[in-house]
Amino acid sequence: MTAEDYLEGQVILIDKPLNWTSFQVVNKIRWIIRKEFGIKKIKVGHAGTLDPLATGLLILCTGRFTKKIETYQAQEKEYTGTITLGATTPSYDLESEIDQRFDVTKITSKDIHEATTKFIGNIQQQPPVFSALKKDGKRLYDYAREGKEVEIPTRTIHISEFEITGIDLPDVKFRVVCSKGTYIRSLAHDFGKALDNGAHLSELRRTRIGDFIVENAISIEEFAKQISS
């Protein structure tokens, strides 16, 4: 691969590591390409943010292929992860401390499987207040960190599959296939409500975007080795 190849456009599949932001991955890949080829400037962007506590498939586009980002973002996505019942957090995941606890002893396996049926098809979902969405020109997480309450409108999303793959209370393992704009953190929070309980997302991995699968993705370190070999 040459500098011209990356400037013309490449699709790079990265398996995002835990505790990295998607923005940090983009910056690192851009730096690796610039350093290897001595390029002063190259466009690199990603097709769909993953939260720092999530791992998995991140599609990166370079050069002229950055024009394809919106097309990739619009494609169906698949995730696996863990919903932890019995506790809620303001961010709906482990980025914030537990603020409420619930008893999970009466929740049955049947209850959990039945609750998934409430989320199949087109549903209304409210994004988490700890998110990068903007309201009146300001990020929602900025309002949240300031302790300000803000009204967040619901949005229509589509969930085509919601499968429970393991139950070891309070942890529930799942696989979900969903449309663009779906917040799995919100799904975890709402899943707890559907069980008259509380829940938060404790683990998340993106396994597919359209026809791209995480098995074909590489680590940042592997990319650095590939580009220099």
User: Measuring CA to CA, which residue among 92, 207, 76 is closest to residue 144?
Assistant: 92
Q: How far is CA 178 from CA 77, 96, 138, in A?
A: 5, 25, 27
E strand map for 74-180: 77-85, 87-88, 100-101, 121-125, 134-135, 138-139, 155-168, 171-178
Catalytic residue, chosen from 51, 99, 111, 190, is 51
Residue matched to tokens 């696996």: 80
Nearest-Å Rg of the Cα atoms of the chain is 19
15 catalytic per annotation? no
CA-to-CA distance for 197 and 100, rounded, in angstroms? 10
Residue matched to tokens 């699968």: 213
Q: What residues act catalytically?
A: 51
